[in-house]
């Protein structure tokens, strides 16, 4: 049977939409991007932190951009034997802030935010802007006035957004056009509802500890407002994208933390649903309504393209805009401020209920397998934050004495 290449490439539709290119162009751009990530990895250890101010990649331009303060260092960088084959891929940009300055300022602002009890503040180093970006919400201006005034002396970019605008109705309007049959396979990106039937978060990766116990990864803050069982945990149930609350029991959110790592594990304790290594892609029901978890991918470059699958906004794509990010966090019913750290910021569209969903990137060589990168922990209509798998596993090991592995799709499937 002959299959049209447009159908084969249809799994790339969300990424094609983000890049503004035909789906047939996406595999080529993914191959270019992987090459740029490799070059960026060779380059960064050779950049002096006082002469350069970070790097980022752009697949459509086929370039690694290097923020440069001291142009006399450019010939030295180009002279490295490992760099010479890739000189045409490098673009040196004039910059004013070094990596050393940016990291120092980032640390000072993070400490300041905690000290002044800043509310709903995120701080990140954005290489494209060669600057610190502070993400704020105008509704918090009064409580954050002292922090904003004090932070201004560092000359950061202040970027305002509304948290979780309610603009997801177009997705819900598709229910009659494409209803999901209620099935008992649990997919990454499915919804999680509590015992009251309220959708809270999204299903993340299937992981397993060294004793053979299975868990579903999600965000730690998913237990905030839900009722608890007699053991003190929140019980979660499956909710498909186009279904009502099912009360198909999954298990309790037994391990969780809010800060410094927003991380949670639902103990699989169910005969109602079956775990899978599949990611929900039901809005693109060609021959690939699901994607297959092939392996773990580690994100190392700003500008890397990523996608996520979540219950509210489904599969959406974007790129990494900050590899170094922190955020203030207020414990419920408390004035105590803590700091979330070591998460990545992207310009992927997210919304309330997407937290816990799986972040992934496409494998240009093996359709429809994907590499998984982390777990959604929050965001807005224009940004999405995620905790990487290595950081999540480190938190599980240190905080809960759990050694976790991701369960992958057998490669013969």
pLDDT in tens, 388-406: 999 999 999 999 999 999 9
Quick one: which of 399, 382, 299 has its CA closest to 343?
299
One DSSP character per residue, 19-31 reads HTS-GGGHHHHHH
What would the pLDDT profile of 91-133 be if each residue is shown by its tens digit? 999 999 999 999 999 999 999 999 999 998 999 999 999 999 9
What would the pLDDT profile of 33-50 be if each residue is shown by its tens digit? 999 999 999 999 999 999
What would the pLDDT profile of 288-331 be if each residue is shown by its tens digit? 789 999 999 999 999 999 999 999 999 999 999 999 999 998 76
- With cut-offs at 50, 70 and 90, classify the pLDDT of residue 374: very high
Q: Look at residue 349 and tell me whether its pLDDT is greater than 90.
A: yes
Residue 370 Rama label (left phi>0; alpha psi -120 to 50; beta)? beta
> Alpha-carbon torsion 90, 94, 98, 101, what sign?
negative
What would the pLDDT profile of 75-95 be if each residue is shown by its tens digit? 999 999 999 999 999 999 999
Please, how many CA atoms are within 13 Å of residue 163, restricted to the half-sphere of its CB? 15
pTM over 0.85: yes
* Fold annotation for 170-413: Thrombin, subunit H (2.40.10)
Q: What confidence score (pLDDT) does residue 173 get? A: 40
3-state SS, residue 88:
helix
Please, how many CA atoms are within 13 Å of residue 83, restricted to the half-sphere of its CB? 19
Higher pLDDT, 337 or 255: 255
Q: Look at residue 64 and tell me whether its pLDDT is greater than 50.
A: yes
Quick one: which of 393, 136, 377 has its CA closest to 262?
377
Q: What confidence score (pLDDT) does residue 224 get? A: 83
Report the distance separating Cα 131 and Cα 106, nearest Å.
10
Q: How far is CA 228 from CA 119, 132, 232, in A?
A: 27, 40, 5
* Pair of tokens at residue 51: 């002469």
């Amino acid at each position: 049977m002959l299959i049209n290449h447009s159908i084969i490439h249809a799994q790339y539709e969300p990424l094609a939409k983000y890049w503004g290119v035909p789906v047939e162009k996406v595999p080529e751009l993914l191959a270019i991007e992987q090459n740029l990530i490799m070059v960026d990895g060779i380059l960064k250890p050779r950049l002096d932190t006082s002469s350069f101010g970070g790097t980022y990649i752009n697949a459509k331009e086929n370039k690694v951009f290097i923020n440069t303060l001291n142009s006399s260092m450019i010939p030295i960088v180009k002279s490295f034997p490992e760099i010479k084959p890739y000189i045409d891929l490098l673009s040196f940009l004039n910059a004013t802030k070094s990596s050393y300055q940016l990291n120092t300022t980032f640390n000072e602002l993070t400490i300041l935010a905690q000290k002044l009890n800043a509310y709903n503040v995120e701080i990140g180093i954005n290489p494209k802007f060669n600057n610190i970006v502070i993400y704020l919400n105008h509704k918090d201006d009064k409580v954050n006035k002292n922090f904003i005034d004090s932070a201004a002396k560092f000359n950061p970019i202040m970027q305002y957004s509304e948290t979780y605008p309610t603009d997801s109705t177009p997705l819900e309007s598709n229910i009659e056009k494409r209803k999901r049959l209620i099935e008992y396979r649990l997919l990454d990106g499915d919804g999680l509802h509590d015992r009251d039937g309220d959708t809270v978060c999204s299903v993340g990766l299937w992981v397993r500890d060294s004793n053979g116990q299975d868990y579903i990864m999600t965000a730690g803050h998913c237990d905030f407002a839900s009722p608890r069982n007699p053991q003190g945990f929140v019980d979660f149930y499956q909710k498909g994208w186009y279904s009502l609350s099912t009360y198909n029991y999954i298990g309790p959110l037994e391990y969780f933390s809010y800060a410094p790592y927003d991380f949670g594990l639902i103990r699989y304790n169910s005969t109602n649903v079956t775990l899978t290594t599949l990611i929900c892609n039901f809005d693109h029901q060609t021959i690939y309504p699901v994607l297959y978890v092939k392996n773990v991918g580690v994100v190392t470059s700003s500008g890397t393209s990523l996608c996520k699958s979540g219950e509210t906004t489904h599969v959406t794509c974007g790129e990494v805009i900050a590899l170094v990010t922190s955020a203030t966090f207020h414990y419920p019913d408390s004035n105590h401020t803590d700091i979330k750290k070591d998460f990545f910021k992207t310009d992927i569209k997210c919304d309330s209920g997407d937290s816990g969903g799986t972040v992934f990137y496409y494998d240009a060589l093996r359709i429809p397998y994907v590499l998984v990168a982390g777990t959604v922990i929050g965001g807005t209509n224009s940004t999405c934050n995620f905790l990487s798998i290595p950081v999540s596993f480190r938190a599980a090991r240190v905080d809960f004495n759990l050694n976790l592995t991701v369960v992958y799709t057998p490669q013969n499937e």
